[in-house]
Structure 1
Amino acid sequence: MGSKSMHRIRRRFAAVAAVAATAVAFVPAVSAVPAAAEPLPQEVCGPAAAGFARCFAEVDSRPSGGFGVRGAAGTTAGTALPDGYGPADLRSAYRLPATGGAEETIAVVDSGDAPNAEADLAVYRKTYGLAPCTTENGCFRKVNQRGDAKPLPPRDGDWPVETALDLDLASAACPQCKLLLVEGDDAQFASLGAAVDTAVGLGATIVSNSYGAPESSASGDFAAHYRHPGVAVLASSGDEGFAVPNAPAAYDSVVAVGGTSLVKAGNARGWTESAYHDATSGCSAWVGKPAWQTDPNCPGRTVADVSAVADPETGLAVYETTVETGWTVVGGTSASAPFVAGVIALAGHHDQYPDASRLYAHAAQLNDVVGGDNAGTQECGGDYLCTAVAGYDGPTGNGSPAGPAAF
């Protein structure tokens, strides 16, 4: 990288530190969209107030969802399956076995109640031929942030879409895993952090968190909730492009999961991947450089560590009936975190994640994602912090799953 590009990077990091030092929450500006533009993916959760997180799920708002013309029941005309990638697609793309993980419990933490979560999950799993995962058979459990089945918190806006995405993607990666849904009273970091602690206390071996807010001087107050030796804790990197990194993804005890665009191809793998243009990457102004990260242009913790499909335009089929009317195509790094949680479950090494260091030691066993960037209007000179290059980079980390071996 040239000296001018490096100078731009350093100036940007100085600006990031200045913003983070004075703000408890950072709300990125929303760019104007030309009237004639194709509909953009819609954020499920709006900007978060100070002290709160927002979910990172994004719904593909195009009439076809990016996967052809929809039929009357929300399926593509002439096919039996919904629009969007399903479990078989993801097993093919990431070379995953159809079995494994039966002894693992994946917890997903979300804000507010998703009243139809179990019923919606049943439709998803039946549609794709996955075994039932229910309260009755002991596979599914839903509790509040204190671990009780009742009372459950009130619904929090459109968070049920996030909940459905989390449960469906964990199921897609690891159909035999048990699922624990822990619902925070609200989206305050204190509530969500308490829900993470509860998940671990109830026996979760892997905890997936598809939410966050730009880090700040207050972020450290909640870091302990995401540090549980013996349990793998994951967090979505976010969907703001190259920016201030989000907490909890920026914590050094968390596996930060970035995003890719996944497209079927005629190559040996059968698929190609590039950086998802909105996946958040960045250099932490508050968390020091972990010993297991050696990238040169960030003096602090760099986000992300690993990645998987996240682009709503190459998105996932999700079934949800509290907010939506059934099948829809959903993405965002909200999808990649629970999916990678399922891959960790398949590998069976959840106790080897006090941090993300395992994925650096086994980077050669991942798909190295090369191509695309998340720079948007920012200047980063093609640097690895915002561009998917050979080896480690910010948007996609060390790469995406190529089977469970790296995990």
Structure 2
Amino acid sequence: MAVVIDGGLPTIESDLAAYSTKFGLPQCTVASGCLTIKYQGGQTISPGADQAEGTLDIETIHAVAPKAKLLLYNVQKSSNALATGPSEIIKTPGLKAINMSYGFDRNTASQFASLYANNPNHVALIAASGDNGHVPGSFPASYPGVIAVGGTVLNHGVETAWSGSGGGSTTYAEPAGQKAYGVPQANGKRAVPDVAAVSGTHMSIFYQGRWNGMVGTSVAAPIWTGIAALVNKQLTPDLIYSVAKQHPDAFRDITSGSNGSCGFQCTAQPGYDYITGLGTPKNFVKDVNAMP
């Protein structure tokens, strides 16, 4: 499982060690071969502005899939570096998923689209849908080959759509999986997000020697990246919609909450909606692994 993040994370090994100890997880270190750290360009990159983000990604994936090997790919501190980063590791042998808990400039997004379409090994490209509510066209989440992850809130065991969860229609053609599933009011366009996980409720991470609480769809994305390690197939957008159609119990359907005031596309409802997609994982891993 790979994580792409801008800037270096000099304390990631010690932070991950403390996190693993706290929650009874196996240790994952560079020395053991569980954790690999690479840098864009081959030279060490200085820390970025949001080191907590990369720490969140690594620790969350490790919590969901404790036996998975982790690749941390540090890229330069620029929007373009984040956009090109995944394509530079996508052909890594054995790689099942790339986590992208970030967004980049939509004005330049079209020039990078081909990089995300060039995915011969069907690596799961998993991206946060954004934290600004109904804002169609966040990238890389909006690319057709990417699994966009929206967000929910947990309150005393009740899960509702998170008001900040990004979503809406894009300018891209409706992918085959969404078309076969029957996304409502798609009008032939790719809909975002595809799925969801907790985002508006704080998730604990251990970062630079202390515990912190994190929120956002950048919490939700690595949950699904961890899930990609638990299924016995390559996690693709088409597979997700096929599972939803064949096994409705694979997802927890989120039916309340909103992320704006745009009517249907801003309101959670039964089935697919433009805030939480197909919903949050329920029996997803079991159902996928039982498929022929």
| Structure-2 separation of matches of 1:302 and 1:331 | 23
Post-superposition CA distance 1:311-363 (Å, at most 9, x none): 1xx21111111xxx51011020001111101112101212x52xx12111112
- 1:83-232 aligned within 5 A: 106-146=1-41, 148=42, 151-157=43-49, 159-189=50-80, 191-203=81-93, 204-213=95-104, 215-216=106-107, 218-227=108-117, 228-229=119-120, 230-232=122-124
Match of 1:380 in 2: 262
Q: Structure 1 counterpart of 2:33, which letter?
A: G
Q: Which has the larger radius of gyration?
A: 1
Post-superposition CA distance 1:41-68 (Å, at most 9, x none): xxxxxxxxxxxxxxxxxxxxxxxxxxxx
TM-score (norm 1): 0.65
Deviation at 1:124, TM superposition (A): 0.6
Q: Structure 2 counterpart of 1:360, which letter?
A: Y
What is the RMSD of the two structures over their aligned residues, measured on CA atoms?
A: 1.6
Post-superposition CA distance 1:349-380 (Å, at most 9, x none): 12x52xx12111112121111111111xxx32
Equivalent residue pairs, number: 276
| Structure-2 separation of matches of 1:380 and 1:193 | 29
TM-score (norm 2): 0.89
SS state at 2:254 partner: coil
Quick one: percent identity of the two aligned structures? 33
SS state at 2:281 partner: coil
| Structure-2 separation of matches of 1:394 and 1:214 | 21
Of residues 362, 366, 373, the one that matches 2:251 is 366
Match of 2:190 in 1: 301
Match of 2:149 in 1: 257
SS state at 2:104 partner: strand
Deviation at 1:214, TM superposition (A): 5.9
Q: Structure 2 counterpart of 1:397, which letter?
A: G
Q: How has the CA–CA distance of structure 1 residues 187 and 153 changed in structure 2, closer, same or farther, with 3 Å as cutoff? A: same
Higher helix share: 2
Deviation at 1:194, TM superposition (A): 3.3
Match of 1:398 in 2: 278
Post-superposition CA distance 1:220-254 (Å, at most 9, x none): 21122323132111111000101133010000000
Unaligned runs of 5+ in 2: none
Q: How has the CA–CA distance of structure 1 residues 180 and 140 changed in structure 2, closer, same or farther, with 3 Å as cutoff? A: same
- 1:52-91 aligned within 5 A: none
Equivalent residues of 2:82, 2:104 under 8 A apart: no
| Structure-2 separation of matches of 1:244 and 1:297 | 14
